[in-house]
């Protein structure tokens, strides 16, 4: 995504627990539920960072949604595993993934990275280091 001056907008990222991160980058989970608007006015490319936490209770929920992630040992943690486009933030999304009384970050065009990148996550919407952003963009071009 480029700005009017032709400059590429800075890449943003957010951290998601596994197995939800896997479901986002593989196209099944099309909303991320949050209690506050971490995106502000930002819309555009977002890297999905798989946090170090695995939520074992989520695996059944993810499978009930029709997704088939690998078992826990195969789910990468502590890595940027893909990108999506953040296109909207709403209170009322029709997705079966949308939780009541949450904001729904609407995600489209998921793309897993061919080579996930080890990275330390952060809270909220954050900006990866320039060299990491460049490595992500290079993988998206290949």
* Alpha-carbon gap, residue 110 to 128, rounded angstroms: 18
- Supply the range of the domain harboring residue 94: 12-140
Q: How confident is the model at residue 46 (pLDDT cuts 50, 70, 90)?
A: very high
Domain count, the chain: 1
SS3 for 124? coil
**Per-residue DSSP letter, 49:** E
- Cβ atoms of residues 140 and 99 within 8 Å: no
Residue 68: give its domain's CATH number: 2.30.130.30
Burial class (CB in 10 A: 0-12, 13-18, 19+), 16: buried
pLDDT higher than 50, residue 3: no
Determine, yes or no, domain membership for 93: yes
pLDDT computed for residue 7 by the predictor = 52
Token duo for residue 129: 């280091």
Determine, yes or no, domain membership for 75: yes
pLDDT in tens, 68-121: 888 877 899 999 999 999 999 999 999 999 999 999 999 999 999 999 999 999
Determine, yes or no, domain membership for 1: no
Of 104, 50, 53, the closest CA to residue 82 belongs to 50
């Amino acid at each position: 995504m480029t700005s009017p001056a032709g400059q590429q907008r800075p890449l943003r990222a957010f951290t998601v627990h596994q197995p939800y991160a896997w479901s986002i980058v593989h196209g099944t989970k099309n909303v991320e539920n949050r209690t506050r608007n971490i995106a502000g006015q930002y819309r555009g490319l977002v890297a999905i960072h798989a946090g170090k936490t695995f939520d074992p209770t989520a695996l059944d929920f993810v499978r009930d949604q029709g997704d088939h992630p690998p078992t826990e040992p195969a789910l990468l943690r502590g890595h940027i595993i893909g990108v999506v486009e953040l296109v909207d933030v709403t209170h009322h999304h029709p997705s079966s993934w949308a939780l009541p009384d949450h904001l729904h970050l609407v995600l489209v065009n998921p793309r897993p990275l061919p080579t996930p990148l080890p990275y330390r996550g952060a809270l909220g919407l954050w900006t990866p280091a320039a060299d990491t952003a460049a490595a992500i963009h290079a993988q998206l071009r290949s």
